[in-house]
A and B are shown apart, each in its own frame.
Chain A
Amino acid sequence: MKRIFDILLPIALGVTLLALWQWIVTVRQIPPYVLPAPGAIARAFADNFVSLMMSLLATLSVTVQAFLVALVAGVAIAILFSQSRLAERTLYPYAVILQVTPVVAIAPLILIWIGFERINAALVLIAALVAFFPILSNTTLGLKSADLNLMELMRLYGASRWQILWRLQLPTALPYLLGACRIAGGLALIGAVVAEFVAGSGTATGLAWRIIEAGNRLEIATMFAALGLLAFLGVAIFAILSALEYWLLRRWHESAISRQS
């Protein structure tokens, strides 16, 4: 019963707001270049369906590639940090600098260096830079959180540092890593949108570029349609990563228990 309400209430609110929106636009005769009615947005979505889907695919492709690059790089560097205090002390400040510098400001430089002829690589790198830091910092924390008694026990049984990494530190870090992935998935999408904005005309083909393009032509309904698709993409990425987290942790981690009982 509670679950049904959890699903029905937000939907009811959404439908009510859409109806209100449609009604206000119609009654007040608001022009479509200021605020299009939901019906007009739906029509724009249907009219541009194929090209919007192509744009969705382009943005999704950059987001997924960027997420994977950030995941591999973040975990690899976190493992390096866990194996060498020296590497961590030397490199961590630079990771922080990379994180606090707004990526929008670095993006033009990356585009020039990598070049517009390899636009996909440039977009992926920009988005990966946005998504990278939470994975690095959370995985580093997780690798350090291993049970010290278990570590001593493994040493007593002659474990090598790789056995300790594989059998103790990485499983300990898994919940931290999965939590970071949920954040990084959303950040990769934000990074992809920022990258498309910066890359601009003629090169980018994703949803963010469609928003700018439609804005320039005052096709506000198409803007809303593209915006809606971006929101949908963000929610889908979050839902998939949450499901993955639950599936991997459901047998043993505290965070998954309440959902089981």
Chain B
Amino acid sequence: MSLLTLRGVCKRFSSGTQALSDVNFQVNDGEFVSLLGPSGCGKSTALRLIAGLIAPDSGEISWSGARPELGFVFQEATLMPWADALTNARLPLDLKGVRRGEADAQAAAALARLGLKGFESAYPRELSGGMKMRVSIARALAARPKMLLMDEPFAALDEITRAGLNDDLLALAREDGITVIFVTHSVMESAYLSSRVLVLSPRPGRIKREIVLPRENPTGPRDRLSPEFAAAQARVAGALLESA
């Protein structure tokens, strides 16, 4: 079932840069869709359009029914440095006026799901890069979103931390039935996480290829060492090369 539809979406910045040109795609309920492309291809712009933070010049972004609850994760953890992890994770609930006790419980639960039990009163500067990103994801999950928009969330992390977060993200999204739109410039990451990869090319940003990656094991994470995963990576890398 389609949850989100982009039809003929164009966006030009006031600087004159054509960020997106005639972008069309659908996202179905429960999918994990990656937007893959080089820097400057308009991936982040697409995400901000979907979030409603900016409006398209032309074209249409429509939801089946009302716009669902959204969560947003940036490349940087984007935490409030003056607030501890619990207060950071509670932010969406505080803004919606959820009662403090209830909000604390939900935020603490979200932190615990990200493996941060015991770090509720830690301040961002006391946490490592990976842990900060975990707080950021906990904050997005605390509001119980239907859809998660992620803008190169793990790009600044080391390979090992990144792999761990990839697995956790997949598990959490599956548990909650969250639809994810994931912006990345990593072939490996998009192949590992996605049920579908949309390859974008820059200037102007448009979708060049679509690769469907069926999951051989829909309940567990992909096997990073399997030939199937190697094949999936090769397909994505090939599509990226062709669309350049």
A1–B91 alpha-carbon span in the complex (Å): 45
Q: Kindly state whether residue A161 has any CB partner on chain B within 8 Å.
A: no
B143 touching A157, Cβ below 8 Å: yes
Among B71-79, B100-108, B181-189, B197-205, the stretch in contact with A: B71-79
A171–B76 alpha-carbon span in the complex (Å): 19
When A155-B53, A156-B53, A157-B96 are in contact, do A149 and B82 touch as well, CB less than 8 Å? no
A252 touching B82, Cβ below 8 Å: yes
Interface residues of B in 3-30 (CB under 8 A from A): none
Q: In the complex, what residue of chain A is closest to B139 when comparing beta carbons?
A: A153
A73–B12 alpha-carbon span in the complex (Å): 42
Contact-size category for B:
20 to 34
A156 touching B78, Cβ below 8 Å: no
Q: In the complex, what residue of chain A is closest to B93 when comparing beta carbons?
A: A157
Q: Whole-angstrom distance from the CB of B35 to the nearest CB of chain A?
A: 18
Q: Kindly state whether residue B49 has any CB partner on chain A within 8 Å.
A: no
Task: Please indicate which of the listed interface residues A153, A252, A257 has the most CB atoms of chain B within 10 Å of its own CB.
Answer: A153
Interface residues of B in 200-229 (CB under 8 A from A): none
B95 touching A163, Cβ below 8 Å: yes
Q: Kindly state whether residue B80 has any CB partner on chain A within 8 Å.
A: yes
B53 touching A158, Cβ below 8 Å: no
A159–B94 alpha-carbon span in the complex (Å): 9
A149 touching B78, Cβ below 8 Å: yes
B81 touching A156, Cβ below 8 Å: no
Chain A residues near B (Cβ < 8 Å): 147, 149-150, 152-159, 163, 167-168, 171, 174, 251-254, 257
Chain B residues near A (Cβ < 8 Å): 48, 51-53, 70, 72, 74, 76, 78, 80-83, 91-92, 94-96, 123-125, 143
